Amino acid sequence: MLLPVTKERREPRTRGYRKKERTRRQLIEAGLRVLAEKGQGLTVSDVVAEAEVSNGTFYNYFTDREELLEALAAQSVLALAAAAAKEPVEDPARRFALATARVLLHARADETWARVMLRLTSLRSRTDVDMSRYMREDLAEGFAQGRFDTGPDDAALDQVAGLVLMTIRRMVDGKARRDAPQQAVQRALRALGLDAAEAAELAAEAVAAQS
């Protein structure tokens, strides 16, 4: 069946789509700032004040407070996934170092995101974010290739994820040394079985690789 050859406009659909997108972005960004500041107990009132829109506008975008929280968690996970994205690097150890360094440097660069991650990771919940999901694959491959002496078992994941989270926390607190990300990557590599010299080398390289 031949389709009629029309313009086939995909995007617009509605009249005010431009403003709609802008307002939604405002609400999400304001929501992230408020979540970073106040935690999951944030109020709709806080968010609309921060976003500088009226109370009623909020409910044009989210059915309730809970739906906003889900959107914020989704948004943050997206940022995490982007930061931890696999690079086309052969050696799994090097790849793991790069991903970990990128997550830590991203946390330093975007404090709001970092605070949100800490808020969402505090305890199991529907809006939880699990760092270790993004490590499992690299760990498994590194183990298979004999680069790591430990598989992607719970204890190893806990150790690395815990180290990353505590490092982020320390950075957010303003108590981290300048080289905290590099130290953390180095310790993570050692925990996975690399010897001290190689861990130091890969960590330095990984941090340096982020322009």
Partner DNA sequence: GCCAATAATGAGACTAATGTCAATATTGAG
Partner DNA sequence: CTCAATATTGACATTAGTCTCATTATTGGC
Provide the binding-site residues for a copy of itself, judged by CB under 8 A: 39-41, 115, 118-119, 121-124, 154-156, 158-159, 161-167, 169-170, 172-173, 175-177, 180, 183-184, 187, 190-191
Is residue 65 near DNA by the rule CB under 7 A? yes
- Full DSSP string of 101-120: HHHHHHHHH-HHHHHHHHHH
Closer to a copy of itself by Cβ: residue 21 or 158: 158
> What is the closest distance, in whole angstroms, from the C-beta atom of residue 128 to a copy of itself in the complex?
10
Closer to a copy of itself by Cβ: residue 26 or 156: 156
Considering CB distances under 5 to 8 angstroms, the limit depending on partner class, which of DNA, a copy of itself, none binds residue 146? none
Is residue 40 near DNA by the rule CB under 7 A? no
Dmax of the chain from CA atoms?
A: 66
Closer to a copy of itself by Cβ: residue 57 or 127: 127
| Cβ-proximal residues to 176 (8 Å cutoff; 6+ apart), any chain | 167, 170
Closer to a copy of itself by Cβ: residue 26 or 121: 121
d(Cα 22, Cα 44) in Å, to the nearest integer?
18
- How many helices (H) and strands (E) the chain has is answered by 10, 0
d(Cα 110, Cα 172) in Å, to the nearest integer?
10
| Cβ-proximal residues to 162 (8 Å cutoff; 6+ apart), any chain | none
Which chain residues interact with DNA by CB under 7 A?
A: 12-20, 23, 43-45, 53-57, 59-61, 63-65
